[in-house]
Every structure is written in C-alpha cells, then in structure tokens.
Structure 1
C-alpha cells in the first residue's frame, strides 16, 4: 500500500510539472504610502516636503548639503508671513563623545538654512534625538534666483568638530517637514519662449491639466498639427502629464475654469475664441489687423483665460491648414522665437528633417559646435551632444565614440561614476578611478539599433560624490571635464539598409515604428467621425514625444477614406477605429493576422482550429501588426475593437503599463484587464483566454494559409527531452517497484519454505 501511495505521489508530481509556460496575473505597481496632502486655505498653503518629491536625506559630518526645489502655480506670488518647519534626527558616535564643549551645543556644530540664496536661520546640533525648527521666510528671500523660476531650499551641515575629535554626526532630514506659505493671486506671466510653461511647471506642487481642442470636423492637417503639438509637449515635459485631445463640441462637458487650453485649427473653427483677449484678436472667424505679410503664416498666441485668470489659452492657428501645420511644428520645438511681444509669434516656414543627409563618418565634438565642458558640484550633472546620422549609417555595426575626459581627485571612487546614453538608452557605465584623473580616452561602441535617421542625442551623466573632508579651502567641489576633441566614428553600413529586417512583434512598439528622429516616418490613420480614435492618437503622440524627444515633431495624419499616396509609400502607419469605418483596411485586410469581418467589426481567427463567438455586449480590443504591403521597410499597426468601447480598450493596451508589458506576437486581444497574444501561424485561438463566455462554434482542419502549406506549430526545443526524461523516470519508478515486489514475494516464499523445512526436521527429530 505504501508503494502504491509512492507511485501515485511521483506520478502526480510529474503530471503537474509545468511543461507549458504557465500564465500569471501581471504584477501591479504598488501605490506609495499616503502622506498628508497639500492643504490650501484662503491665501495659505501647507506643503509637505514629501509632496514635492523629497525623500529622507542623511547629512554626514564634517560637511553635508541637501537641496529641495519647487514651483508655485504661475498665478501665485509669495508674500510676507511664510514659514518653513524642518523635522530632523541627530545621531552621534565616536570615542570622544565625552569632550563636551557647550551644554546647549555640545560639539559646536550646526545646520544652516538658505532659501532662494538668503540665509534664513541656523540650528545647533543640540544632541541625539528628534528635533524641530521653525523658520520665517524674510521678504528678501521671496523671489526666485533661478532662471526657470523655481524656489530653492538648501540645508547645510557644518560639523567641523569631526576634524578635531573622534566624533561623527549623522543628521536625517525628514520628509514630514513642510512649507507654510502665504501667497496672493495674480495673472501668470506669459512668454512663448518659455514653453512648456505656463502649461507645465517642473516641481510644481499643484499639477495642471491642459486640453488640446480641435474643431468638431477638423481637416486632416489640423488634426496632424494637434498631434504634433502633443508630441512636442511630451518631448518638452519628458514625464507623465494630464494633456487630452478633445473637440470643440466636447468642451461643453468640461469646466473651462479648471484647464489650460490649446486651440489648434484655423480661426474660423472656433467662435469661442472671440471671448479671448489675444494681441491679434479673432472676430467673425478672422484675425483682426493681421499684418498683410503674415496672411499665409502660422499664428501662435498666448492670452489669459477669460474663464479663470490663473489659466492660459493658446491659439495654434492660421488662415489655412498649411499655416496651422507650421504653427503646430513651431510649438512642438519648444523654442518659439519672439520679438517685441512675448505672447505672439508668426511662423513663415519650418525646416523639418530633410529626406537625405550628408554622410560624415568622423567628427569631433568641437566640429559639432561644442567646447570643452566641465561639470562641477556634488550630485548628478549632465551634458548633451546632438549629432546627425544619414540613412546609410543608421544600421552600421561599427560606430563608436572616443570619449576624452579627466577629473578631480576629490571623488569617492567607491561610488562616483559616469554613464553614457544614446537616444535614451544606456550604452556605458564607467567608474571614476585614480588613473582616470589624468587625460583618459575611452572607446564606447554604439549598439546596433540605437541610432536613428536625423538627430541623435548623446548624453553624458556624471554622479560625483566626495569623501568626507575637512578641506575648507573652497576647492572641495568635484569636477569632470569632457574634451571637445572627443570624436565619433560613424561608418556607412556595409550590408546596406536592408541587411537585417526588423522583427515584427508588438512588444517592440513603438521602437519598431520610430526610425526617424522627428517621428516623420509615422502616420496616424483614422475615420472622420471617430473622435475616440483621435483621442487615442493624441495620447500615443504625447507618449512618443516623451520617449523619443524629437527636436521638431513631424507626425503625419490622414483620414482613412483619403490616404495620400505618399503615406502609402513612405510611412509606417497606425490605423485606429472600427474596421467598418476604415475603408483603407480593405486594401490589405486579408493579409492581417486576424482579418476583420467588415460587417460586425470582429477580427476573425478563421485560420485557427477553434473559432470562438464573443457574447453579445462584451467589448474587446484588437491589436494587429503586419509588414506594410506598400513598403517592406515599414510596418502597419491596427488598433481596433468589436465596438467603440473595444477601440478604447485596444488603445489602453498600448498606453497602460500593466497591459503594455503583456504584449507580444502580431495579434493581441484585450478586455482592459488582461491581454492574450498570438502569432499568425498559431493554430490555437486566443479569444477564449480573455473573453468570459466565449463559445467554440466551429472546429476545422488547419487550412493552408502560409506559402501554400499547412501552418506548423513550432514545438519548443525543451519539450521532447522533457517528455523523454519524464518517461524514463516513470519507467524507472515502475521497474523499481516491480522488482521490489518480486524480491519481496521471493523472500516471503523462501521464508515459507524454510519454515516448512524446520517443521519437517522437528517432526523427524521427534
């Protein structure tokens, strides 16, 4: 019986061994612990350090420093009466702790507090334990001294006693500290040259939101301009931000007093703009007193919102779609040039990335216009270099940079280092050391696939930490010098542009689509009537700008019933909307991994062995990826659904991190919580993985769908060895049990025979 249980146990273990990859729920980001939120009462605001992104900092003797930066809303002006409350812990250690100098300040050390460059107070290191100090902000410290308008609090530790005695001090500045600010409301300063301000302020403790408004029936160029504006703001901001594309009709559902707004389109599209006090007013659908020379120009204007004096309205406009496009691209650059008025700019032309660039294989930083740069100060410092790459050089495998550098000898070589990023991807991390204090040349190869046609960004970022030092000579700041004679080598790709075809896989989106630095190789295609698809396109444009940082955004857009031939031939395409409303899909629907039934918008897995029917009322989103039939170097992504809600779910699959990380293959279906993926050659349906109640309605033999042959399900390389090994184990176990059973029966038989022999012998003796 015991052996039977042993057999069953072993067989059970073997049967549950995961020969197939087990599905598991996605790991969700853990939300940070909630702290006291910002409190605003009247003209006073209590702002905890934590809500400004400050985390616990430790200052170590003899000297240490920490900084906190923040922005107030543009409509706020700090006035008298503000205070700062600092919470900190003090710890002492060392053999000379008994050498007390003063009972109130045992060792003579203190903390120094500076706000906007003004000393606002000190606090003695009174002893081990928790402490609180409250400081007034003097009138002389209310104005920012930084160019970007941020306020700066600096906390410095002076514990020079550690230089004379064996006493160490650690001061922990706690994020429960807070500002108690007093402010008055005023109209924000307007200046186009300071974009993304006033729409976005770095380190602002009150987040803003912006609506990008297009006409109810915008032209394709107007929608294209709106997408470029959103991509530009994504590039300028570089992080998550609440920016949404809506139509003028939808604006009625929003409270205009709560938002900044950017109106993109010709002047006649927005009667509401007659209420805005622009420098060049808009009346009866026209610009009033527009200079004759600017009739064909793009017009960019800023004004205070008539619905809330703390909000801002921007018009990205002109008298034609072409003029609006120029205005949108100028805004996307983030470097709007202003003349006499900071609120108005006319854009006569925009020089976007040329179709061809000259081939320059070797050049120095100096030839790019950069001088020798020295990064100085404790902490993280960086320097960016922009260079251009031609189409013939993009796929080279032999590119590199010879970085020439040297640095001070004050660095803590255990923790100080520098890294090199190419187009946002880290390609090297190098520690500082004693040898590299002298002039050093480091060759760093560019990994294949990191270069883009057009502008490329090389970012050198140094993290410089110094050892605790008693040096008070003023030369203790570390420095790192990058020579202008550093050079880049970019040979032409020897095998040509088509040397290595790109792998088509959803997990590589959007990198798979971006080969031009200005995003100019991407076109969005959507139905004229589907506003939801425009919204998704806007979010994708912002995300692409955030990720790829174009100098000028040059996305293209078209309606699905009138796609220009140029987009056919030259662009990768992201097609959004219901299949039944997208006539362009009919040109290649049969080539999709799961072709659409144009009558009911369902992606048919007709090549699958099992086809599932999705229950009525259940919305699902589809993502399908394929090679462009118009240009083998380009890709097509279809973002669709079985209804309008499904299209939004498909968009979430590309935008929501928990869903995006699940993407793979060339076909994906999502219910907004899960994603199931499949390949075009797979015979197994993926619909039932995410659609509750899906019912199998047809079982068919595998059709011949690829190159006239039957699709082949690739067997994992580990499967056959695993089956053989498991079978051998089972046979071995069964054999062992059988042999053991026979041996036992034989022993029992021998015992019986021996017993009978002894019994016979006893009888004979008797």
Structure 2
C-alpha cells in the first residue's frame, strides 16, 4: 500500500527538478517553425536546356518554357493572352530561321451537346509584337498537340535585349453559345534557335558584361590567384570581387582557384571551361598569364627579358629645365646581334640633343638609335637631352626598349623622376633591369614598369567565355589595375579591351558615394507603366534594395497605384501583392478601383529584408460579359508613379550586435577601413570564403571605388590594426590572429586547437568529439574600441564555410554576438546577457540537432516567469521562463499526476483480485 505514495513522492521530486533545470524542454521537444525568408534563387542551367556539344556556325539550341521558369498556363474563352520573355547571350546572332514548338491541350464543352461549331477559336502567335501565325482550332479536344511555328530570323529585333513571345487566344465567335473552353500551354513547349555565335564584344566600358549577362544560363566566374597568394594579391582580388558584388547585386556565382590548379585541370582534360576567368597577379607569380601569352596573342604582349638595360637620369627636375639621360645595354644573347634602342618622348618635353646621332619619329613620339651591330658581350651607350616645358607636372617617365632585328623586343626599362618646385637635387639616379623576368609591349611601345594593365580576351578554352587579366610588372602596378576594376569610371581610358593605368587617386568618400534614395517611384527603379491583358493569372515583378544600415520607421510603406477596365467581373477579379513571396495585401477589382486603384502596404509589418527585395503583383481578370471579343477591353495598368517609401533611421555608431550586419563593416562606402585577416599560407577554401564575403559586402555599399585590405599570418602593428574593422577567417589553429584574441571571444577555443571549450556563463559543457560547428563571434576590436572584430571560424573547415555562407547569404538570421551553425541549424546568443538554461539548450541543439527543427535563441530573459507569446515565428529566450523560482503550475500538476497514478494502481489491484475470484 506504500507504493502509491512513494511513487507520488518520486514523481513530484523528479518533476520539480526537471522544471528548474529543463525549463526549455517543451520548446525542444516539438518542431518549431523558424522564420524563413526565401531569396530569389540564383539561376542554374536546367536539364531541359540542350547545350550544343560543339560551338560553330548556326548550331541548334533548344529551350523549354520550364527552363525559362514558366509553369503551365491556362487560357480561357472567349479571349485571353499570355506572354513569355527571354534574353539571349550578347554574342548570339539569330541569322537563320528558328522555330517554336507549342505543346497544347484544348477542351471545349457546351450546355447543349449538339450542333457543335466547325471552328473553336484562333491562337495568334507573336514574336516581339510581330504576328507569326494564326492557328485555327478545329477540334473539340486536343491532347498535347504539337504546333510548330517558324521563327524567321528577321522577327528577332536586333536592338532588343529581351525578346517576347505572345499567345493570344480568341474564341469570340462562340460567345453566343453557352460553353466553356480552355487552352492549356504546357511548359514542355520548346523554342528552337539557330544562331551564329559572334566573337564576344570585349569592351571594358561595358563591364561587368560579358561576365554578367542574366540570360537563361548561369553567370559563373573563377577568380585565379597565384598558388601561394600574397596579402597584396588577396587585397587586389577582394577589391575586384567587392565591386562585382556591387555591380551585379551579388548575382554572380564566383568560385576561387589557383593558377596551378587550373593549369592542371586544363592540361588533364579536353573539355571546355564553362566559366569566365579573372586572373590577378604579376606574370612571374601567376603562371596562367604566361600560359595565356603562349596560347593566344595578348593585346598587351608579354616578353622575356634577354639582356641588361640601364637608364641614368636626374633624381629631381623642375618645370622648364633640361633633362639629361644616359642609356646603356650589353649584348648577352651569346651571338652577334642587330640591336635598336627606342626611347619614348615624355609628354610636355622636346628633343634638344642626342649622342650618337638619333632619329626622332614625331608621329609616334619616339627617339630611335637604329641598327647597332654588337658582338657578344659588347656594350652600347647613348645620351639624350630633353627640354621640359612649363606644362610639365607630376612626374617624368622615361621608358626605353631594346629591339633585336630577329628576336623582336628583348628588354625595356623605366626611370621615374618627380617634378619639384624648389631647387632640384643635383644627384643622379639609375634604374637597372637584368636579363631575367618579363616586360609588356602595347602597340609597339614598352609599357612603363609601374603601369597597371587590364585586358579582356576571349577564353582559349571556350569562345563563349571571356578572360579578364589584371596584371603589371610590380605589386604597385597590379594594385593600380585592380583599383581601376574596383571603380566606376566613364573616361575613354576604360574603353576597348585594354586599359593602362598610370595612377589611382585616393577615393574621397563625400564625392564618390552614390546617393541612395529613400523615396522611390517605380520609374526611379527603371520601370514604366505595365499593362496586363487577358484572363490568365499573370505576375509582374519589381526589385528594390534596402540598405543594410537602414532601420525602417513606421512611415515606411509601399503605395501601389493602378487603373483597370470597368468591363471586368468585380466579384471574381483581384490583385494580390507579395513581398519576397509572402502575401502582403489583396484587393478586389471593382468600379471604385477602376480609375484610382490604390493599395497601401505597411513595410514594418511586411516581409521586407535587408538587401535585395522582390515585389510581386499577381493579377486575375475576369469578365462580366463573355462576348467581349477584344482582349484589350479587359486590362489593368500598374502605374510607374507607384511609390516605395523607405523612411528610416540610419544605424550609426558601433553596435556590437550581428542583428545589424553588415554594419559597422559597411559603414565606410568604400570599404577602405575593412581588413580581412587570414592564415599565413591561406588555402583556396579560406581565401575563397573571403572573396564570397567581400562580394556580399560590396552589394551593401555604394562607393565608386571599393578597397578592402587583406593581411596574412603575422599580426600587423597595433597602430595599423587600430585603423580597421577586422574580419578574421579560418580555423583557430591556422589563424594566428584568432589565437591572439582567443581569450576575449564569447566562445574561446582550446589553446592551439580547433576544439571549443564550451564555456557559456559559468558552466562548462562536454561536446561530442569531432563535432563540426561554424562560429560567428563579434567583439569590440582589441586594438580600438571604436572598431569591430568579427571571427568567421569553426571547429572544421566545413563549419567555417557554413558560418561564412550564413553571414553572406542569410545575414538576417544572425543576431547577438555569438552564432553557432551546424548544417542549416542556426543558434544565436548574446553571451553578455546569457542565462544557464539558454546555454544548456543551445549546446543540446547544436550537438543533437535534428534536421527538421531550427531553433534560434537569443538571451533576453523576461522579468517574470509567466510565458509571453512571441510575435515572431522564431522563438527567443525571452518567450521562455528562465527564473530559478518554482513555477506556479508545478504543484497542481504534481497533484493531478499523483491522483492519476493512485487511480491506476487501484484499478490494477482491483482487477487482480477479480481474476483470482
């Protein structure tokens, strides 16, 4: 008889213990719907796209409507219309007739199944507003009927970037007969194109085209760095990638590789390379540049140095003074040679004397000592005197080149002299280059050794792809070239396939920053009035951007203005607005909305997110009078003066919460105060993730020139570190900077290890060995409290990649100062306000996370123990009691369970006695 009370006591004590230690248990035992914001997916090449195996003249190319992103469409009688748009690659010329193969199904039913008409309607097919064919429907039913329509080459408007196929269904002749007719356009309908592939238009003024075209195939790009990239190499690539993120809205698929990896791939396979390439570095460090120079004729030709060349000249000079130079070289070719020396006349100077006699070519501004026959190891020396004019400013560059009659250019050199206003120094300087290394020649002139070089060429591995080479003869030169490609400029120097960059001026934030409007019309976004016709449901999309450092106020809203025909059925016609695929508002279309339709959407309550947003409008038009035969009588217009009001407050100052990422890292619109710190010898995965994050940050800023920096391995001086916001990437065991700041991180690692010491608050947890976790940790910079330090790391490389992907692609899910990522499970904490139950729950979720449950926790405890329903679909610690006192519901629960246990035991005891009787 003591079993019941004893069990009750045990049960009560266990429940009390569980209530205080596991107050999050109910949350963890059931699936929780986490808030998900679905971004527009990056285009991928669908399986329905048939790519020709060989590139040549007029290959056939097939493209289904499904591959273009269209679903099945139903057209209803008496009249209806649908449209399909698509873009072709820039270098496709439709020069032969193609065809459209429609997959149709038609069904006709009438109230009296007799006296069927002989003709059931017409389908008019148009391309770019030109009527191609009118198909007469002469059967009551068609099942997957294949209709082939020729597409004349002349029908493709050459000046249109986007082509439009229109299908207009007209069954107006049947409207007097009560009936129902539907015409279905199946997504297996196919466009067959015959085209000639033209050479790519290589023009730097069109950049980022041809690398980014937004056609039906994905835009993919590889950044190629040396096998052992330096900090300068990475800084150069970061600047270029950040600008690409800005110019494309982070729409390019960018992957990293090294010259060695790509060379091995290209020599081990005969398949074409599907990616565009951007190659960064000096020719002596990036082997792909020398490989390209062997495979194709570069517009700026790379030559090997074959003999030493020296230029002597003044160390300083004033405007209007003479400049005296001496040139000397030695024939080290091992044989007799016929050598000519070419000197380029600097701007704002003129020739006064030369010894021995020289020839001045005023057409191309060169001075030549031709045909000097030298035996092996013999030297040649000449002198030159120029007169500087008063217009000479900046620096004087004297560039010389030696050309051998049979070998061509064999060396070049440059001497740079600054222009001063005071009395110049009388000392002389010399520039000497030996017979090792490389030099560039453009249009038969040597390129100055400190000039940056940018050139676009067709890919030798795929003539439908391009290669952008960013190079130079020095680190300074490559930096100039990369800064040119991280800038916006409309000057003539950035036109055609080649740009030589002499100098880059420091960016001025107040001048270079583009103004971001908070009050926008659809016209401001590049859209005009949009007209919708027909009965089929149609959707139109508008894209706009919300800067990451904007906090919307209550006045932020979308005001959509529209007009529509009064000949539509006001009981069955509607307009629905979606924001990022989530419904925001709906309205019936009636007489009150016909002339001045207006929908107001409060953005603070809508599914708006930082970065890119898509506003979608779904329109359903039905008619009151089925005998309207003119499709234009049923219409709706979305007016271009519709407004998007992004009234906001700027997130300013330092906010050490990942809720506001990318602030403060994007506070400077040029990213010039941002430093990426990687391991000393970064692996491709590590510097590739830095590029990925740079592209994301680039899409969040508006500077005309972007210039983030990189450091590798050794920690820079404190004075240098204090200037920057810092992002450290990589595992703790590989990144010395992470080891340096480890003790100050919210979640430190075991010293010299990638294993974490799960120390949250004053509790230490034991985690499974080999657990792959990604970590984002945000703290004030140890070198400057006015700067931020962000660690993008993990217990494994996979974990680090997951952490970076979360930050770059889903920044709206990160919060607090510590984010833990395992697979797609994201937990966020603020360890500055952490409580033990929250810490225990996070450890449980991260070590035992189920794939169907995503739990996001923040550590903002409620002041009372009473649970409060959260208005967000993402649970927070604030919605769960974290107090140490016993909840009020505990004792009634224990009592009820105790009575239930006693009743069960009484029933069992009675049943046993009954059976014995």
Q: Go from structure 1 to structure 2 and tell me whether the alpha carbon gap of 1:431 and 1:739 turns closer, same or farther (over 3 Å shift).
A: closer
> Paired residues, what number?
695
Asked whether the 8 Å contact 2:512–2:705 carries over to 1, the reply is no
SS in 1 for 2:462: coil
SS in 2 for 1:300: strand
Q: What does 1:41-120 correspond to in 2, within 5 Å?
A: 43-71=59-87, 77-78=93-94, 80=96, 82-95=98-111, 98=114, 100-102=116-118, 105=119, 107=120, 109-120=121-132
Are residues 1:230 and 2:383 paired?
Answer: no
* Cα distance in structure 2, aligned partners of 1:524 and 1:195: 26
* Cα distance in structure 2, aligned partners of 1:714 and 1:460: 32
| Cα shift readout 1:651-674 (whole Å, capped 9, x = no counterpart) | 4554687xx998665445556576
| Cα shift readout 1:324-376 (whole Å, capped 9, x = no counterpart) | 5565465457887667953234566589672599999999879x999996444
Which of 220, 243, 263 is the matching residue for 1:252? 263
Partner of 1:310: 464
Q: Go from structure 1 to structure 2 and tell me whether the alpha carbon gap of 1:186 and 1:292 turns closer, same or farther (over 3 Å shift).
A: closer
Which deviates more from structure 2 when the two are superposed, residues 405-414 or residues 620-629? 405-414
* Cα distance in structure 1, aligned partners of 2:635 and 2:879: 61
* Cα distance in structure 2, aligned partners of 1:587 and 1:312: 42
| Cα shift readout 1:138-187 (whole Å, capped 9, x = no counterpart) | 44347454532x54433222222355443343211111222344455553
Are residues 1:199 and 2:211 paired?
Answer: yes
Which deviates more from structure 2 when the two are superposed, residues 648-657 or residues 356-365? 356-365
Q: What does 1:98-497 correspond to in 2, within 5 Å?
A: 98=114, 100-102=116-118, 105=119, 107=120, 109-125=121-137, 126-141=139-154, 143-145=156-158, 147-148=160-161, 150-161=162-173, 163-183=175-195, 186-204=198-216, 206-207=217-218, 209-238=220-249, 241-255=252-266, 257-258=272-273, 259-266=275-282, 269-270=285-286, 271-275=290-294, 276-284=296-304, 285-289=438-442, 299-317=453-471, 324=478, 327-328=481-482, 331=485, 342-345=496-499, 354=509, 374-377=529-532, 397=553, 407-409=563-565, 414-416=573-575, 431=587, 435=592, 466-468=621-623, 470=628, 472=630, 478-483=636-641, 497=652
Asked whether the 8 Å contact 1:624–1:637 carries over to 2, the reply is yes
Q: How far 1:272 sits from its partner (Å)?
A: 3.1
Which of 693, 698, 708 is the matching residue for 1:540? 693
Q: Go from structure 1 to structure 2 and tell me whether the alpha carbon gap of 1:428 and 1:670 turns closer, same or farther (over 3 Å shift).
A: closer
* Cα distance in structure 1, aligned partners of 2:251 and 2:818: 28
Partner of 1:578: 731
- Select the structure with the greater relative contact order (CA < 8 A; seq sep ≥ 6): 2
Q: Go from structure 1 to structure 2 and tell me whether the alpha carbon gap of 1:737 and 1:199 turns closer, same or farther (over 3 Å shift).
A: closer
Q: How far 1:301 sits from its partner (Å)?
A: 2.3
Which deviates more from structure 2 when the two are superposed, residues 17-26 or residues 76-85? 17-26
Q: Go from structure 1 to structure 2 and tell me whether the alpha carbon gap of 1:509 and 1:88 turns closer, same or farther (over 3 Å shift).
A: farther
Q: Go from structure 1 to structure 2 and tell me whether the alpha carbon gap of 1:138 and 1:623 turns closer, same or farther (over 3 Å shift).
A: closer
Partner of 2:742: 589
**Greater strand share, 1 or 2?**
2
Q: Which runs of 5+ in 2 are unaligned?
A: 305-437, 849-876, 910-917
Q: How far 1:513 sits from its partner (Å)?
A: 4.8
* Cα distance in structure 2, aligned partners of 1:538 and 1:179: 37
* Cα distance in structure 2, aligned partners of 1:254 and 1:277: 22
* Cα distance in structure 2, aligned partners of 1:461 and 1:350: 43
Asked whether the 8 Å contact 1:262–1:315 carries over to 2, the reply is yes
C-alpha root-mean-square deviation of aligned residues, in Å? Answer: 5.6
- TM-score (structure 1 length as normaliser): 0.71
* Cα distance in structure 2, aligned partners of 1:425 and 1:94: 38
* Cα distance in structure 2, aligned partners of 1:450 and 1:129: 43
Asked whether the 8 Å contact 2:776–2:790 carries over to 1, the reply is yes
- TM-score (structure 2 length as normaliser): 0.61
| Cα shift readout 1:685-723 (whole Å, capped 9, x = no counterpart) | 76786569xxxxxxxxxxxxxxxxxxxx99942777985
**Greater helix share, 1 or 2?**
1
* Cα distance in structure 1, aligned partners of 2:491 and 2:690: 28
